[in-house]
């Protein structure tokens, strides 16, 4: 897991350099001998591409390490990596709260204000009482190095997520659609089965009209037979034996 450790350590460690203000590319040249923070070596500007290339290689080594893990270990490491992503989201929020697009100089406590020292490892950080100059060049460099680190961290998270949760290819989607269509076709071809109802042929009398019905048939039966039939109809029951009327 050495590759993963190196990658995670690298993107969480900021190597501040303290230079003279005159060495900066800032247009403000007053107090040239004043100490100033610099992170230009950790960006892809100012003829410095080494940092970005190093982060990219370490990310690939980290992925190789993760691929060697079983599913349980991979999921555990993945959860820890996602927690680091949340810290990057927080530092971006803090950064934009204190960033000024047209500011040439920032307060000496800027690094503490955005909690860079709390969320990450910041080497060579001095107390804000030392009044080390923080100019727009440093802040822009910090923005760029954060962007590089966040970019490769996001790439690693996406690659691991793809391993744990493979995306459906177009061919797989087409196969699924065909399978669903075939199932629907078979279902349509099968006739709908009507459940057997043993009482389907048995007449049902609406009790609301029983009296009217009995009045209509009364003249066709003897009084004895009519009373037997009326009792059965009103109780909605079948006779114990077949009734024969003559």
User: What confidence tens digit (pLDDT) does each residue in 40-85 have?
Assistant: 888 866 556 788 899 999 999 999 999 999 999 999 999 999 999 9
| Structural domain includes residue 94 | yes
Out of 163-167, 170-174, 226-230, the most confident range is 163-167
Count of C-beta atoms within a 10 Å radius of residue 11 = 24
CA 203 and chain centroid, separation: 61
Same domain (yes/no): 160, 231: no
> In the chain, how many domains are there?
2
Over residues 131-144, the mean pLDDT reads 92
Closest CA to 152 of 15, 16, 12, 41: 12
Of the residues 126, 145, 168, the one at which a domain ends: 168
> 110 in a domain, yes or no?
yes
102, 33: one domain: yes
Task: Say if CB 128 and CB 156 are below 8 A apart.
Answer: no
Domain contains 178: no
Same domain, 109 and 223: no
Structural domain boundaries enclosing 223: 199-239
User: Which position has the higher pLDDT, 114 or 245?
Assistant: 114
pLDDT of residue 66: 94
Q: Does one domain contain both 39 and 123?
A: yes
The neighbouring-strand residues paired with 131 are none
Note the pLDDT tens digit of each residue in 44-56: 665 567 888 999 9
The residue from 168, 190, 212 where one domain ends is: 168
Residue 182 lies in a domain: no
- Is the pTM higher than 0.85? The answer reads no
Size of the chain in residues? 246
Asked whether residue 187 carries a pLDDT value surpassing 90, the answer given is no
């Amino acid at each position: 897991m050495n590759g993963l450790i190196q990658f995670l350590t690298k993107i969480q460690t900021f190597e501040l350099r303290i230079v003279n203000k005159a060495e900066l590319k800032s247009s403000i040249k007053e107090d040239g001998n004043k100490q100033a923070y610099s992170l230009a070596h950790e960006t892809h500007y100012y003829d410095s591409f080494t940092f970005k290339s190093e982060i990219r290689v370490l990310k690939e080594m980290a992925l190789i390490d993760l691929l060697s893990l079983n599913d349980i270990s991979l999921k555990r490491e993945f959860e820890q990596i996602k927690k680091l992503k949340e810290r990057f989201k927080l530092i971006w929020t803090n950064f934009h709260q204190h960033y000024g697009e047209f500011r040439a100089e920032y307060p000496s406590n800027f690094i503490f204000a955005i909690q860079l020292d709390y969320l990450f490892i910041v080497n060579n950080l001095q107390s804000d009482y030392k009044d080390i100059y923080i100019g727009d060049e440093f802040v822009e460099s910090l923005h760029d190095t954060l962007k590089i680190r966040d970019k490769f961290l996001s790439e690693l998270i996406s690659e691991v997520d793809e391993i744990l949760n493979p995306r459906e290819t177009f061919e797989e989607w087409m196969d699924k659609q065909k399978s669903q269509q075939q199932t629907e076709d078979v279902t349509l071809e099968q006739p709908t089965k009507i459940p057997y109802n043993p009482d389907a042929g048995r007449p049902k009398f609406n009790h609301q009209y029983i009296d009217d019905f009995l009045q209509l048939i009364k003249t066709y039966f003897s009084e004895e037979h009519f009373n037997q039939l009326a009792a059965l109809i009103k109780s909605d029951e079948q006779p114990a034996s077949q009734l024969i009327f003559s």
